[in-house]
């Protein structure tokens, strides 16, 4: 498992936190470790998913990963 921390733009409340958590949890091979306003920490199985797919889940939830 690889662990990464994402900086996320557009989050401002607990609803945002839950939306990001739900989106990330739906991705196979991802374990959500922590989601806070402005960031998320996840671990993922490189054989099942890549970082681009994880970022796409954040985007689909309505937010943007900062690079």
pLDDT band (50, 70, 90) for residue 59: very high
pLDDT band (50, 70, 90) for residue 14: very high
Give this prediction's pTM: 0.94
Q: Given this model, what pLDDT does residue 6 score?
A: 98
Cβ count near 5 (within 10 Å)? 11
Angle between helices 51-60 and 14-25 (to 10 degrees): 140
CA dist list (Å): 19 to 29, 47, 48, 50, 52: 18, 25, 22, 20, 18
């Amino acid at each position: 498992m690889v662990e990464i921390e994402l900086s996320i733009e557009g989050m401002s409340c607990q609803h945002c936190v839950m939306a990001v958590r739900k989106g990330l949890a739906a991705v196979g091979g991802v374990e959500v470790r922590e989601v806070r306003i402005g960031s998320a920490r996840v671990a993922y199985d490189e054989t099942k998913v890549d970082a681009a797919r994880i970022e796409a889940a954040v985007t689909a939830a309505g937010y943007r990963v900062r690079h």
